[in-house]
Amino acid sequence: MSTPTGFDELIHPATRLSVVALLAPTEWADFAFIRDSLSLSDSALSKQLHTLEEAGYLEIHKEGGGRRRRTKVRLTDRGRTAFEGHVAALRAIVEGAGLTAATGPAAKATADDVPAMTATGAAQRQRHHTETGR
């Protein structure tokens, strides 16, 4: 299978995808909000933001100084376009595998099914660990 148009290797790693997805519906977001929302350390988030900024996907604005310094982040137009293209490419991959939102197992699940699905998943993981000796 060929990679769909719009698939972005830079955005694809889970942490960067999470950052960009969090920023997509906002104008600006505080560094602390992003860090806390994604449960990342300052250094881990800084590294990901720097990578995305170097690609022209983010704009980072620092204001104030000392202990009152605030860092704000936003997607650039280029970053927003890349994110939207990447999401479209991921959808194409999923649809190509025959898993659409309308026909996939999750489409038939209701809120009442979530505990049962979670319990089933936990039982399957426990059975796997038992079978593999972990």
Round to whole Å and give the CA distance between 126 and 134. 9
Q: What's the full length of the chain, in residues?
A: 134
For the beta carbon of residue 128, count every other beta carbon within 10 angstroms: 10
pLDDT tens per residue across span 20-60: 999 999 999 999 999 999 999 999 999 999 999 999 999 99
The pTM (predicted TM-score) of the whole model is 0.70
